[in-house]
């Protein structure tokens, strides 16, 4: 019997490329890409960095939880890119098929630092301001990302195009041919 997925939801560490992959994947699948951080910014009417500074991380996490409820209830057939801490919401697996974009911390930093707008990418992420802490966070989260994922894709040294193609192949294998 054919199975379908409600949404495809990309999880993984900050800067791993969830947003870029989501846009390419959505285009290939002819569906819409939705970014959780973009939705949170429009909900709060301010940038993530300002939410952290003015309201605190706890408030940001509260908004993430509310967004997760909204996505579960109201969104179908989309590719959803999440913020690096979104995986903690209780209903993650009810939102859709969870795909972990996996990469070592060093490769993530290499990717960010080699991008044309590296400074901006670091400045907009409050939890990347202290590299030692960010590295420890990556280590701590890797295990949980793995546990929560229906599929894990190693994205090191791959383009969004290659990653999206691989995701489609794996999804077809897992859900359409089984």
Instruction: Write out the two tokens for 59.
Output: 């408030």
Q: Does 83 bind ligand S3P (CB under 6 A)?
A: yes
Question: How far is residue 103's CA from residue 160's CA, in Å, rounded to a whole number?
Answer: 13
Least separation in angstroms between residue 127's CB and ligand S3P is 5
Name the β-bridge partners of 98.
Answer: 9
**What residues from 88 to 107 belong to the interface with ligand S3P (CB under 6 A)?**
none
Give the DSSP letter string of 128-139: GSSHHHHHHHHH
Nearer to ligand S3P by Cβ, of 25 and 48: the residue is 48
Q: Does 160 bind ligand S3P (CB under 6 A)?
A: no
Q: Judge whether 81 and 35 are in contact, CB under 8 Å.
A: yes
Instruction: Write out the two tokens for 145.
Output: 């990302």
**What residues from 135 to 154 belong to the interface with ligand S3P (CB under 6 A)?**
none
**What residues from 8 to 67 belong to the interface with ligand S3P (CB under 6 A)?**
14-15, 37, 48
Q: Does 168 bind ligand S3P (CB under 6 A)?
A: no
Number of helical (H) and strand (E) elements in the chain, helices listed first: 9, 5
Interacting residue ranges for ligand S3P, rule: CB under 6 A: 14-15, 37, 48, 83-85, 125-127
């Amino acid at each position: 019997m054919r199975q379908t997925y409600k949404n495809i939801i990309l999880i993984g560490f900050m800067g791993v490329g969830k947003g870029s992959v989501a846009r390419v994947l959505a285009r290939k699948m002819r569906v819409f890409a939705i970014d959780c951080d973009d939705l949170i910014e429009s909900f709060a009417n301010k940038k993530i960095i300002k939410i952290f500074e003015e309201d605190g991380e706890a408030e940001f996490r509260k908004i993430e939880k509310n967004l997760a409820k909204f996505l579960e209830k109201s969104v179908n057939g989309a590719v959803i890119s999440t913020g690096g801490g979104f995986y903690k919401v209780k209903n993650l697996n009810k939102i859709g098929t969870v795909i972990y974009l996996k990469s070592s911390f060093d490769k993530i930093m290499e990717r960010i630092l080699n991008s044309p707008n590296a400074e901006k990418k670091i400045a907009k992420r409050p939890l990347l301001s202290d590299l030692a802490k960010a590295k420890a966070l990556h280590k701590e989260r890797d295990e949980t990302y793995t546990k929560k994922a229906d599929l894990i894709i190693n994205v090191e040294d791959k383009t969004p195009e290659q990653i999206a193609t691989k995701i489609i192949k794996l999804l077809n294998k897992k859900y359409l041919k089984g």
